[in-house]
Chains A and B, each alone.
Chain A
Amino acid sequence: MKIEVLYPEFCNLNGDMGNVKYLKKCLPEAKFIETSINEQPAFCTQDDLSLIYMGTLSERSQEIVIKKLMSYRQRIEELIDKGQVFLFTGNSLEVLGEYIINEDKSKIEALGIFNVHAKRDMLHRHNSFFLGKYEDIELLGFKSQFTMLYGDNSNEYFATVEMGIGINKESKLEGIKKNNFIGTYIIGPVLILNPEFTLKLLSLMGVEEPKLAFEKEMIEAYKIRYKKFKELAVKNK
């Protein structure tokens, strides 16, 4: 089993690398390929990757990564269509949208794989808790971002929102899911916070009889946070 982690020298903000750390515990036999910015991604030539992961990055880094990935745009689209499993967390999803707009209205063209675009507002950082549903799994998470995503994701959203925001403050649909591509603004250790979702992801990745590392403790922590978030959701209504 092979997992490609894209540009860890840039895409390592907000504790997102905790997801990789945790996957290493769940899949001790797996090979993790860390692709740096001056290397050709493994996904260009290898068809047997179980997961392609990318985490949160700075705004400047987004622009560097967009330039690098632009040459692989067609390949990424082909892989999404073929059902390759991707997990993009935080603002890394924006790289695959149409464009990113700065406050001064200047535009950064992105890969244009999804019909969405991001708007930056560097003076107003959005922070919130997230409670929502992916299929029948109740998802928990944190959001911390300068951008909001706009466009119609109603046919390819990742999760419905019970508490918090979707791709923007008016939206109740979080992230993008197309085939096995999952992109979510939920930051940090999303896999550690959500044991059921992680089991689902491991299944998608082709793990037979997936098993979680530290399952008991993770479920206990999940239950405590779920109760708290449910209470907060009621309070915030």
Chain B
Amino acid sequence: MNKKKTLRFYITLWIAKLSSVALKILRRNATYFPGKIALTLCPEFMGIIEKPKTIIGVTGTNGKTTTCNMINSILEQNGFEFINNKYGSNIDGGIATTLIQGVNFLGRSKKDLAVLEIDERSSNKIFPYLTPTYLVCTNLFRDSLMRNAHTEFISEILNKYIPKETIMIENADDIICSHIAEGNRKIYFSIDKLETDTKECENITRDIRVCPKCLSKLEYEYVRYHHIGKAYCPNCDYKCPENPDYRITNIDKKNMQITVKSNNQEEIYDIVNDNIINIYNMLAVIAVLKELKLTAKQINDSFAKIKIVETRYSEEIYKNYKIVTQLAKGMNPIACSIAFNYIRKEPANKAVIMILDDLHEEANGSENTAWQYDVDYEFLNDESIKQIIIAGPRYLDSYIRCLIADINPEKIVYEKDLIDATGKLKLEAIEKIFILHDLYSIEETKQIKQKVKEIIDEKIPEEK
């Protein structure tokens, strides 16, 4: 229930709304500042402001933005009217900004539905004032060590602040995520055992190895990646949830389709992107939208039109070469490891260009590179990867990490300058070029892609 609106609230709301208008006139992003002002002037603002009746929250370490983008697209294409923080930040100021946009000057809610991406680390500043109807938790992994520390820290925040009334939609294959908010009503999603699953974990890191209840070593029926899989404690009842509500029973990569079973019914959906993490994201989207009573047809008709946003994944065939740009978030060892694994398992011979430095952090000094030792560089030590080009300010650190991963130095180019390094790309014996980049290197990625095209043009000039 919202608290009573006070004069302070109204004045704050008007100032925040005016600041939003002013920012738009100045052609600046009004995605965080109005909310920040509101929370500064009236700390209880988020608790007072009217909110839509139904709030879908999406949190977790990886996949929040992609999941929200897909939910937003499907709802839009099916004529729903709702507010969302698609263009805004996912911390308290950004959430407050979105809520401000969703009310009129009298503070009355204009829409009945909200889709909010919620930063898991900031949930202590959001959930005391906002109760999601549904909260999707995609997964929980170690992330930026400087900000998020470790999964126990994030789990404790989520467990402390998630409202009891919220219905949790959780990844049943993630033994950490699936035990968040134990007392809440739960809906689980899961992907059945895959041919690619293994008995032993191939990754360097696993954020849970020991049963938190009895300290026995956790065992797995199968491991997918890191701690994702079917984990259980051999000595007590701690395990991944059984009988998930939404299950992918088949992934047909050839026809790019998945089969989802829920309520004893099987439905077929078109795959938006075949990276396993995006298949999990799709399943989370299906689970939450089915709970909102959308039909499989409504969801799938929209999936067919959805593309992962270009800043996260893009592919282009250019004169017989496939150029893929893929986000591999700096400081996020799991995202990088998943990207490395995806590349090595992609058919065909390839070259990999990496700019994993957090250039934003670099501007403030020198990047903390400790996280690189939690990344599975060993996955790049694969016969199908013919060349690795490392560029950016921390190029030597990444090069040393590659050497420790036993990658043949003859395969590696390492240079600070992004374009000079890319200039050494060898097209012989490769069919695909992957450009792995950080969230803050979008412009640089475009330049690298352009340089790659120029190199291809030099090799195949007649098609210019």
- A interface list, Cβ under 8 A from B: 9-10, 12-18, 21-22, 25, 36-38, 58-61, 64, 122, 125, 127, 129, 142, 144, 146, 187-189, 192, 213-214, 217-218, 220-221, 224-225, 228-229, 232
Q: B145 touching A15 by the CB < 8 A rule?
A: yes
Instruction: Please tell me if B292 contacts chain A, counting CB pairs below 8 Å.
Output: no
Instruction: Please tell me if B152 contacts chain A, counting CB pairs below 8 Å.
Output: yes
Q: B368 touching A144 by the CB < 8 A rule?
A: yes
Instruction: Please tell me if B146 contacts chain A, counting CB pairs below 8 Å.
Output: yes
B370 — which chain A residues lie within 8 A by C-beta? 14-16, 18, 142, 144, 187-189
A58 — which chain B residues lie within 8 A by C-beta? 149-150, 152-153
Q: B145 touching A144 by the CB < 8 A rule?
A: yes
CA–CA, A218 to B145, complex, Å? 23
Q: A220 touching B145 by the CB < 8 A rule?
A: no
B372 — which chain A residues lie within 8 A by C-beta? 15, 18, 189
Most chain B CB atoms below 10 A, which of A122, A188, A218, A220: A188
Contacts A142-B368, A142-B370 given; does A214 touch B403 at CB 8 Å: yes
A-B contact number at CB 8 A: 106
Q: A189 touching B373 by the CB < 8 A rule?
A: yes
A217 — which chain B residues lie within 8 A by C-beta? 396, 399-400, 403
B145 to chain A, nearest CB (A): 5
Q: B366 touching A228 by the CB < 8 A rule?
A: yes
- B interface list, Cβ under 8 A from A: 142, 145-147, 149-150, 152-153, 204-205, 209-210, 212, 215-217, 333, 365-366, 368-374, 396-397, 399-400, 403-404
CA–CA, A21 to B365, complex, Å? 27
In the complex, which residue of chain B has the Cβ closest to the Cβ of A36? B217
B147 — which chain A residues lie within 8 A by C-beta? 125
In the complex, which residue of chain B has the Cβ closest to the Cβ of A126? B146
Most chain B CB atoms below 10 A, which of A15, A16, A36, A224: A15
In the complex, which residue of chain B has the Cβ closest to the Cβ of A18? B373
Q: A38 touching B399 by the CB < 8 A rule?
A: no
Q: B400 touching A221 by the CB < 8 A rule?
A: yes
CA–CA, A12 to B145, complex, Å? 12
Taking a contact as CB atoms closer than 8 A, the residue among A60, A192, A221, A228 that contacts B152 in the complex is: A60
Q: A9 touching B209 by the CB < 8 A rule?
A: yes
A234 to chain B, nearest CB (A): 12
Q: B373 touching A129 by the CB < 8 A rule?
A: no
A21 to chain B, nearest CB (A): 6
Contacts A14-B145, A221-B396 given; does A25 touch B404 at CB 8 Å: yes
CA–CA, A228 to B367, complex, Å? 11
A64 — which chain B residues lie within 8 A by C-beta? 215
B400 — which chain A residues lie within 8 A by C-beta? 192, 214, 217-218, 221
CA–CA, A209 to B153, complex, Å? 43
B149 — which chain A residues lie within 8 A by C-beta? 13, 58, 125, 144, 146
CA–CA, A122 to B142, complex, Å? 16
CA–CA, A38 to B215, complex, Å? 8
Q: A17 touching B373 by the CB < 8 A rule?
A: yes
In the complex, which residue of chain A has the Cβ closest to the Cβ of B365? A232
Taking a contact as CB atoms closer than 8 A, the residue among B205, B216, B217, B396 that contacts A220 in the complex is: B396
Taking a contact as CB atoms closer than 8 A, the residue among B153, B374, B396 that contacts A15 in the complex is: B374
A164 to chain B, nearest CB (A): 11
CA–CA, A27 to B441, complex, Å? 38
Q: B368 touching A59 by the CB < 8 A rule?
A: no
B152 — which chain A residues lie within 8 A by C-beta? 58-61
Known: A21-B404, A214-B404. 12 other contacts (CB 8 A): A13-B145, A14-B145, A15-B371, A15-B374, A17-B373, A18-B370, A18-B373, A25-B404, A122-B153, A214-B403, A221-B396, A228-B366
CA–CA, A125 to B212, complex, Å? 24
B247 to chain A, nearest CB (A): 30
CA–CA, A221 to B399, complex, Å? 10
Taking a contact as CB atoms closer than 8 A, the residue among B146, B216, B217 that contacts A127 in the complex is: B146
A10 to chain B, nearest CB (A): 7
CA–CA, A60 to B153, complex, Å? 9
Q: List 7 A-B contacts (CB under 8 A).
A: A9-B210, A60-B152, A129-B366, A188-B371, A189-B369, A214-B400, A229-B366
CA–CA, A220 to B397, complex, Å? 10
B150 — which chain A residues lie within 8 A by C-beta? 13, 58
A214 to chain B, nearest CB (A): 5
